[in-house]
Structures are given as C-alpha cells and as structure tokens.
C-alpha cells in the first residue's frame, strides 16, 4: 500500500471528534489500545479528540502505562457508572458454584442452595434489565455529560467504539439529540460476542432485544468500521438486512512503531539459549483455546521426552478456568511451564522480545475465520517467528504471507506435533528463522489511523448539507 500523502495531510481542515469509549486508560487490555493509538496519531491528520469515558470502570484489569500515549492536550470527560465493582459482577455471573461436602450439615447445604438460588434469580433479573450489557448503567450519566460537552464546544462527528455495545446505543442517542454524524467502531462483532464473550447473554429474550438494538443503531449510523475485512463485509450485510446502505471500511489494529524502537523493514528472529521458548500473550478463553497446543505437546512427550524437556512455554494474561485446567496437563509432560497473570503492555512487550517463537491461538469455531487477534501485528513487528493455530480465514491469510509453514488448524494435532519436533531440533543447531517477507508498514498504527482520518473526513463531508 502507498504511504500517506504528506501534502494532503498538511492541507486537511482541522476537525474535532467525540470518542465514546467506556474502555479507556487506566483500564487495561488489548482492546483499549485501539482508541488510544487512534487518538495518539489522529492529531497529525487534522483531527482533535474529546474522549468521553467512565470515571469508575467496572473491569478486570488496569494498565497505567497506556496513559503515556495520550497527548497532553486531549480533552477527557468522565461520567460515573452505577455498576457494582467487577469482582461482585463476576461472582454474581458465575454458574459453577461449589457444592458443599458430603459431610456438611443439612442446614449448611440448604443455606448454600438458597444463596445459589438467589444468585440465579438476580442473574435472571439483571439479564432481562441490563441490555445489551451491564455497562448500560453508565448511559444516564454519560449521556448528560456528553450533551454538556457537545453544547459547550463544536464537534464534527461522534465516534462510538464497542464492546461494550451500550456505547453504540449512547452514540446513536447522541446522534438523535444533536444531528452530528455517527461512526460505529466494532472492535468485535456484536453477533460473535453474543456467542463467545465472557458472561454474554444467550437466552432467546436477550437475543431478540439485542437484535432490535442492532437494527436501531445501524439505521442511525453514517459509517461503520471493523477490525477485519471479513467483519466489515458481515456488518455491512447485516445493515443491508435492516434496509440501510452503510459505507464501511476495515481499519486493522496494527502495531505502533514507537513501541518497538526498530526499523520495521528488516529483522530476523534470534536464538536464546538451548531451550526453545514459546510465548503466548493475551487472554485464554473459549475463542483462543490452548487445547490443540496442549495435545501436541503431550503427544510429543510420549515418544520424544528428550525433546520436550528442551521446550519452555510461557502464557501471559487472563485465563478462564477451563483453560487453566488444560495448562495444568502440561506439567506432566516434562516441558518447562511458566504461567503468568495479566501484566502491563510494556512488560508484555518485554516478554515477547524474550521469545524464540510467538504463539497465536484462535479456536476453530464458527465465525473465528473473521477474527484477527490484535497481538498478531505486534508479533510481526517483533521480527520473531510466529506459530499460529487457527482456522482458515483472515488470520491464517496474514500469517502465511510471512510464515507459510507455520499455520495449523486446531484439529491437525499430528502436523503440529511434527512442527514442534522439527523446531526444537532446529533450535538446537542455532538456526535463525528470517521473515519470508519484511513489508509490514501497512499494519502500522500510524498508517491505519491515516486511513481512519480519511474515512472520518469523507463521512463529515457526505453528512454536510449542501446550501
């Protein structure tokens, strides 16, 4: 892809966008980086940003280091949510309650049963009322604050990013109140999140309500953005089913060159010691299951235990209980296992640099072919070899552009096992693995933000009435 046009950039009319972002620093996580990097680079392409975010976020992780990327003159407006703390929400959402021991007294068993029953009732009530997600409790205060901001200072567009999808409802309401054009940014598809997202509501009533919400939101929008080409096609098709023709583009998450301090044109993977170190960073859950890798390592340990002891596996990030149980199976294989909790972005980058191979996981489930994990682009920028276990689709297409022999579908355990054996043996001979191709600049955050700025400009121009 061609580089941004410098002259066109310098000639841009300065405009201002209101970013509706529930998830914003100091909240942590890969999804938070998307609006942060947009805001960091948009000012260079003619756009100033006002951020509307939550004052007391009810979230599982925080990362203060992400604040370093926010320009000092960025206008931050915060509104309080009525949500309880995240730990309370997580306890209420749990359905895998622990049964009392057989020796417990009848009164204790009845007490536990009553508590579990009460939790079930509360979950049902919350599920029916808090649509499309608990973050809808942020809506009242956020709506008041947003109107104050929009009435006090002129803005050219509303940019609402999700999940949580209640942020899109807020953006739609603000469009109705102000008449400003609205662009929806889908970091994840709503339909996929309804199936796979942690604590998502899958009952018939919730799906019915959320379908109507999606229809209203898409009908009110002036533009739509998604993180993959396949996702934007799917969302545009969904909008068409609701009778609206929306202009949309894919804006990948990408990598920020400033995070790496390297020239992205060249680089090779380096050899670190006698043990092959494979690092995975990110959440392990039902859309990024580690099961295929566990099966392959167990299989290799059965006939080449001498090689498995030369393998180190590092997993960094949040892990659902089922995924932790899978990781525990690796302790009996002889490999070296390092399980770490969520860490800030800078530490995660440091762990990536320590790797010989970076692991990318994507479950072989319906819809995953339209997903591209954000970490893929940082993996590419690391100039490390990538092992990708994912279904055929957009992720596989990108990975195989650079590492044609390093992609495996989740059910091909034999081939994955053979690759591990060959890779450990090759590592013992200190052979470095260069990237097959080195042109990754199209995936830089700055390049992708330039595309976003062009798109926002076009939406504003199209939405401006001709006098």
Smallest CA-to-CA distance from 275 within 142, 424, 150 is with: 424
Q: Which residue, chain included where needed, has tokens 């693995």?
A: 433
Could you write out the DSSP letters of every residue in 182-204? Answer: EEEEESS-HHHHHHHSTT---SH
Integer angstrom CA distances of residue 319 from 93, 110, 228, 298: 16, 32, 25, 20
Rounded Cα distance between 192 and 117, Å, is 29
Let me know how long the chain is: 467
Q: How far is CA 271 from each of CA 311, 420, 424, 430, rounded to the nearest angstrom?
A: 13, 16, 12, 6
Q: CA-CA distance, 380 to 316, in Å (whole number)?
A: 18
CA-nearest of 414, 377, 409 to 393 is 409
* Entry pTM: 0.87
Q: What is the DSSP letter of 6?
A: H
Bridge partner residues of 389 (DSSP): 361, 408
Other C-beta atoms lying within 10 Å of the C-beta of residue 91: 12
Q: How many other β-carbons are positioned within 10 Å of the β-carbon of residue 156?
A: 20
89 closest CA partner among 111, 117, 115, 122:
122
pLDDT by position in tens, the chain (length 467) = 445 555 455 566 899 999 999 999 999 988 899 999 999 999 999 999 999 999 999 999 999 999 999 999 899 999 999 999 887 766 665 544 333 334 444 444 444 454 444 444 444 445 557 899 999 999 999 999 999 999 999 999 999 999 999 999 999 999 999 999 999 999 999 988 877 666 566 678 888 899 999 999 999 999 999 999 999 999 999 999 999 999 999 999 999 999 986 444 444 444 457 899 999 999 999 999 999 999 999 999 999 999 999 999 999 999 999 999 999 999 999 999 999 999 999 999 999 999 999 999 999 999 999 999 999 999 999 989 999 999 999 999 999 999 999 999 999 999 999 999 999 999 877 665 655 556 899 999 999 999 999 999 999 999 887 55
Question: Which residue, among 408, 432, 410, 404, has the nearest Cα to 419 in the 3D structure?
Answer: 408
- Which residue reads 């489930």 in tokens? 365
């Amino acid at each position: 892809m061609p580089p941004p046009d410098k002259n066109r950039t310098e000639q841009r009319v300065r405009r201002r966008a209101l970013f509706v972002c529930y998830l914003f620093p100091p909240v942590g996580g890969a999804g938070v980086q998307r609006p942060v990097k947009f805001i960091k680079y948009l000012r260079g392409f003619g756009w100033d940003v006002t951020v509307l975010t939550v004052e007391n976020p009810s979230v599982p992780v925080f990362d203060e280091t992400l604040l370093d990327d926010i320009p000092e003159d960025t206008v931050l407006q915060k509104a309080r949510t009525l949500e309880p703390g995240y730990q309370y929400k997580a306890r209420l959402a749990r359905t895998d309650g622990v049964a009392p021991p057989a020796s417990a007294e009848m009164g204790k068993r009845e007490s536990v049963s009553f508590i579990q029953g009460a939790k079930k009732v509360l979950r049902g009530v919350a599920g029916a009322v808090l649509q499309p997600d608990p973050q809808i409790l942020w809506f009242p205060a956020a709506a008041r604050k947003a109107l104050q901001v929009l009435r006090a200072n002129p803005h050219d567009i509303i940019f609402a990013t999700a999940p949580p999808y209640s942020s899109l409802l807020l953006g739609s309401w603000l469009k109705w109140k102000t008449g400003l054009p609205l662009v929806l940014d889908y970091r994840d598809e709503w339909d996929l999140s309804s199936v796979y997202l942690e604590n998502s509501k899958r009952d018939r009533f919730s799906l019915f309500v959320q379908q109507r919400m999606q229809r209203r939101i898409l009908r009110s929008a002036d533009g739509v953005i998604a993180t993959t080409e396949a996702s934007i096609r799917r969302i545009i098709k969904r909008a068409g089913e609701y009778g609206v023709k929306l202009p949309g583009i894919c804006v990948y998450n990408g990598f920020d060159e400033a995070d790496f301090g390297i020239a992205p044109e060249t680089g090779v993977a380096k050899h670190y010691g006698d043990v092959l170190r494979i690092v995975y960073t990110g959440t392990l859950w039902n859309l990024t299951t580690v099961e295929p890798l566990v099966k392959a390592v167990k299989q290799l340990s059965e006939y080449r235990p001498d090689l498995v002891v030369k393998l180190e596996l590092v997993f960094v990030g949040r892990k659902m209980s089922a995924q932790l149980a899978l990781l525990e199976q690796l302790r009996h294989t002889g490999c070296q296992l390092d399980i770490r909790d969520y860490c800030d972005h800078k530490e995660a980058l440091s762990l990536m640099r320590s790797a010989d191979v970076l692991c990318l996981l994507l479950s072989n489930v319906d819809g995953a072919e339209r997903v591209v994990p954000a970490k893929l682009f940082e993996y590419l920028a690391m100039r490390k070899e990538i092992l990708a276990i994912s279904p055929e689709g957009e992720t596989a297409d990108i990975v195989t552009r650079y590492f044609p022999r390093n992609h495996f579908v989740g059910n091909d355990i034999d081939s994955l096992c053979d690759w591990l054996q060959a890779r450990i043996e090759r590592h013992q001979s200190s052979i470095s693995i260069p990237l097959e191709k080195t042109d990754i600049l199209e995936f830089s955050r700055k390049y992708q933000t330039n595309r976003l700025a062009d798109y926002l400009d076009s939406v504003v121009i199209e939405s401006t009435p001709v006098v």
